[in-house]
Amino acid sequence: MEQKYNPHEIEAKWRSIWPKERDSYKLQPGDEPYYVLDMISYPSSEGLHMGHWRPYTIADVWARYNTLLGKKVLSPVGFDAFGLPAENAAIKNGRHPADYTVQSMGNFTRQIQEMGKMYDWSTLINTSSPEYYKWTQWIFTQLYKNGLAYKKAAAVWWCPSCQTVLANEQVISGECERCGSEVIRKNLSQWFFKITDFADDLLSFEGLNWPAQVKTLQTNWIGKSQGAEIDFKVVNSEDVIRVFTTRPDTLMGVTYIVVAPEHTLVTALMTDETKGKVEAYVLDASKKSDIDRMADDRTKTGVFTGSYVIHPITNAHIPVWVADYVVGTYGTGAVMAVPAHDQRDYEFAQVYDLPIQTVIEPVVGTPQEHPEYRQSIVALVHDPKQDRYLTINWGEMGGTLLIGGGREEGEDPVACAQREIEEETGYSNVAFINKTETIHHSYFAHSKNVARAIDAVGVSFELASDATTATRLEAAEQGKFTVEWLTADEADKRIIDPLHRCVFERFAKGNVYTGYGVLVNSGEFDGLTSEVAKDKIVAHLESQGRGRLTTQYRLRDWLISRQRYWGAPIPVVTCEKCGEQVVPDDQLPVVLPKDVEFLPTGGSPLERHPSFKHTTCPTCGGDAIRETDTLDTFVDSSWYFLRYTDPKNPSAPFSLEGVKAWLPVDFYVGGTEHSILHLLYARFVMKALHRLGHVPYHEPFQTFFGNGMVYLNGKKMSKSKGNIVNPDDMVKRYGVDAMRGYILFMGPADQDVEWQENGITGVSRFLDKAWQSFAKVDSSNNATSLSPAIQKAYQDVNAHLQRFTFNRCISSLMIALNEVNGHVNKAEAEVLIRLFAPFFPHFAEEVWSNLGHTSSIFEATWPEVKIEASQTASYVVQVNGKLRATLDVLATAEENEVIALASELTAVKSHLEGKSIEKTIFVAGRIINFVVR
RNA sequence: GCCGAGGUGGUGGAACGGUAUACACGAAGGACUUAAAAUCCUUUGCCCAAAAGGCUUGCGGGUUCGAAUCCCGCCCUCGGUACCA
């Protein structure tokens, strides 16, 4: 059967044999369900590109691997055919979106099937079909009925090219996520989903195996910040200006108040004298685009309103200014300005010559110079290895610290840390601030004090699953470090507090001091540390009803309405008598009519379709008007993974049993560019459905694998840049398996890679050589022993699969093939080819068949190989850490024997002569290091 | 500015604190061939004629018997974010 490897023939053959539809979402008793998913894509006529191939290949490898492990794998497929991208492409091609997407889906289907993906086409869904969007609309009505969908007038982003509003998440650096046009602000009445209701829930990634980077991105996007609201009563008026601040400890340093130009009180605040100037300023600000406001030149501008407010503690009169450095949409749209301790306020004060009042003084110096502030140091950590003492300053870290793991069951971690620290240090006034439930990775990273302390002692943090934590805990358990608490006197003698060094640096750079410290010029609060002062000042205000603790988020509600045609109609009807109401379930779907003048003109196209717009009221039967906006396509894709578990169900969006069995998705693959779009929306919808009792879980994706992008000439591949590599051409030349192999071999799957055309020849040659080796297998040879090379390949491929280092899987297979040098016995071939199978499915299937098997290799099981211990051990021999020789000995050799042999090696001996051996490092089976002098 | 990821040969990239440069591409030389392609063999981090030896993971320090890896201080590249109080 010696013949040349002909990938095209083999691949076409197996694709015609493999079943396309398998109903794999239907579970049988005893099945172990495993859900592998890649992100639903919108079908474009341009076809598949590298952006599809990479995640698709990764997901397919994982699906096939898990199939071989004996799991029942669901690997579904569908198209997100609704939405702007599809509609824009249709318009460009002069077609109706419905026809255009049907054609594109046909092309896509053919191309995907040519990839040899293990998709189950019986799951096929199309978000633009009434059978699907009926349930997208149903989800809207469910959220509406529970107060999670609402319409309101707001300043929203508008894309002048796409002629529609956009969600905040869809504006990338001031440009439309789809077309790249500069967006502008408009005041419009729009529909929103109340994602802010879930802000805190979305901050927790507990139990999820997600890349830290994506978690950080989402955490920053949500932007939680804790502080206080403080009310400033306007002089000679009943009006109150409410400000938000994270620094209530600086209240005594407030020298003016700033409101945003959009603030509702601006008109009331201006006086006859200032009216002209203020109105001109506000008008000017409204004309300024956000792009201008984002420009580099940030010279602060503003104008005095003519009004004053009363300071809630001193009763002093404080001037109120309008300035556009305060944004109207965050917090309360007003700030208390503390120019002494805030960079922006300082700059503004400089421009308009406003008073600057210092109220915080940093603690400069060492603790022994300032014993009175010792309360702000919460932990002293001793690292015996380096004999150094570290402090942890709670104010810097904002999180939960578990000291030594002595937490009793159910005990609050903060309380525990406080108790332990107080017990251990004898410090009585330990100050805690920012008591958040968990430490997020970002907090952890920018607190150098804490990071240092953890490294030194392995203090356990309550972090979401994070590899570095495990390593550190391990170190602590192995007793590499101990925690030693000093008395204050002992510590004072030896400690240098890193925080204080940091303070010096800030001053050296000439910045405004924005850190924590001790209050001065603050009357009754003088001498308190920032941490303590915050609590006391807020408590004081609260007792008078002038302030309270509060939390702000950067996250805004999700704007879901679009003034475009190609989307699910928002299922709302407004009747003069009965008011606004959602369409009842039995009248869903609200069908999107086809005969619509859909070219974007700024208004909703459905508005111009009288028989759609004018309808009857579901309640009273009278005349009523339909909502003519359509839903953002991200709504369609925020629940599709649920539909796959029961894709044809006509009476429900999904079945509870299906969701219970399959969700959360075990392995989800896609580009990290969706970190704060799709991935955040999908989590929100899942949490909302969970709150309403429709699903038993609140997270959709257990493991998310974010694949990197493929670049060409240093830039993301895109048609407009003209730097596209067409996968089809590669497949035509080298075959699908070579293409898959190369996609994986290029580099780590989670990192961006630069496309190198030549690289694929290496994989192609490898397959060719492998083919020759398998073809030579002597099937009459009954030997069962497996060569060390095959054993190693088995070990390595397994290890690399666990770590998702697919590039190393391929190189391990290459190494094995080089090692066996064209000769494998039948037993070895049967193991090796199954290791090939997830990566090179067609190739493996053909070889498997040639080896005499009548059923598919994917009905076989992943091999189990017993690893035999090696007979010999190979030592590296060093002198003073420099490599001098290698030494092969029997694995059973004793330590002193090996050392004796090593010291006699000529290459070693010459470096030992005339010197005395101070120490000999011996690591069994690995290394010998002679330390000489 | 802030947050995150990264910096290793000519290139893509390997390396639980333990032989740095695996695997592959490319290049050079050779074999086969009338010739080319394909294939096979050899060489391929730098210095030195070779050997011996020395140097080398962005830069500078440190810890360690031993550092690409850990710590401290910098520089550069790429992503995210942006007057968020």
Structure letter (DSSP) for residue A654: S
Q: List C-alpha distances in Å: A645 to A5, A36, A56, A329, A713.
A: 39, 12, 20, 40, 41
Nearest protein residue to nucleotide B72 (CA to C1' distance) is A452
ipTM: 0.93
What's the Å distance between residue A752 CA and nucleotide B27 C1'? 27
What's the Å distance between residue A841 CA and nucleotide B22 C1'? 26
User: Which of left, alpha, beta for A145 (phi over 0: left; psi -120 to 50: alpha)?
Assistant: alpha
Beta bridge partners, A182, equal A175
What's the Å distance between residue A877 CA and nucleotide B10 C1'? 33
Whole-angstrom distance, CA of residue A31 vs CA of residue A658: 13
Contacts of A136 (CB under 8 A, 6+ apart): A127, A568, A631, A635, A636, A639
Contact A65, A862 (CB under 8 A): yes
Q: Provide the token pair at A26.
A: 């239907």
Q: Provide the token pair at A110.
A: 């053919």
Contact A20, A123 (CB under 8 A): no
What's the Å distance between residue A761 CA and nucleotide B37 C1'? 15
The residue ranges of DSSP E strands in A728-868, in sequence order, are: 753-754
Q: Which residues of A69-108 are buried (b: 16+ CB within 10 A; e: fewer)?
A: eebbbbbbbbbbbbbbbbbbbbbeeebbbeebbeebbeeb
Q: Provide the token pair at A605.
A: 């196209």
How high is the pLDDT of residue A714? 63
Q: Which nucleotide is nearest to A769 (CA to C1')?
A: B39
Q: Which nucleotide is nearest to A800 (CA to C1')?
A: B14
Nearest protein residue to nucleotide B13 (CA to C1' distance) is A747
Structure letter (DSSP) for residue A164: E
How high is the pLDDT of residue A321? 96
Whole-angstrom distance, CA of residue A677 vs CA of residue A814: 39
Length of chain A: 933
Whole-angstrom distance, CA of residue A167 vs CA of residue A164: 10
What's the Å distance between residue A537 CA and nucleotide B2 C1'? 28
> Running along chain A, 933 residues long, what does each successive block of 10 average in pLDDT?
78 93 92 95 82 93 96 95 87 90 91 91 95 97 96 86 86 79 83 94 88 86 88 94 93 95 92 93 76 62 94 95 90 92 88 90 51 42 35 32 34 43 41 24 27 34 29 34 36 35 36 73 85 86 92 91 93 92 93 88 87 91 92 94 95 94 94 87 96 95 91 67 75 93 92 83 93 86 85 93 93 92 88 96 95 94 88 86 84 85 82 81 87 84
Cβ burial of A479 (10 Å; 0-12, 13-18, 19+) is: exposed
Cβ burial of A218 (10 Å; 0-12, 13-18, 19+) is: buried
Structure letter (DSSP) for residue A767: H
Q: Which nucleotide is nearest to A444 (CA to C1')?
A: B3
How high is the pLDDT of residue A907? 81
How high is the pLDDT of residue A407? 37
Q: Provide the token pair at A42.
A: 């919108």
Closest Cα to residue A218, out of A680, A532, A608?
A680
Whole-angstrom distance, CA of residue A413 vs CA of residue A400: 6
Nearest protein residue to nucleotide B24 (CA to C1' distance) is A762
What's the Å distance between residue A907 CA and nucleotide B45 C1'? 23
- Sign of the CA dihedral with A606 first, then A612, A614, and A619 last: negative
Q: Which nucleotide is nearest to A879 (CA to C1')?
A: B65
What's the Å distance between residue A813 CA and nucleotide B13 C1'? 16
Closest Cα to residue A525, out of A545, A511, A539?
A539
The residue ranges of DSSP E strands in A663-799, in sequence order, are: 667-671, 704-707, 710-712, 715-716, 753-754
Q: Which nucleotide is nearest to A772 (CA to C1')?
A: B39
What's the Å distance between residue A535 CA and nucleotide B69 C1'? 44
What's the Å distance between residue A471 CA and nucleotide B54 C1'? 37
Q: How many CB atoms lie within 10 A of CB A581?
A: 18
Q: Provide the token pair at A564.
A: 């475009």
Whole-angstrom distance, CA of residue A389 vs CA of residue A340: 33
Structure letter (DSSP) for residue A644: T
Chain B bases near protein Cβ (<7 Å): 2-5, 11-16, 18-20, 22-26, 38-40, 53-54, 63, 65-67, 70-73, 78, 80-85
Structure letter (DSSP) for residue A438: S
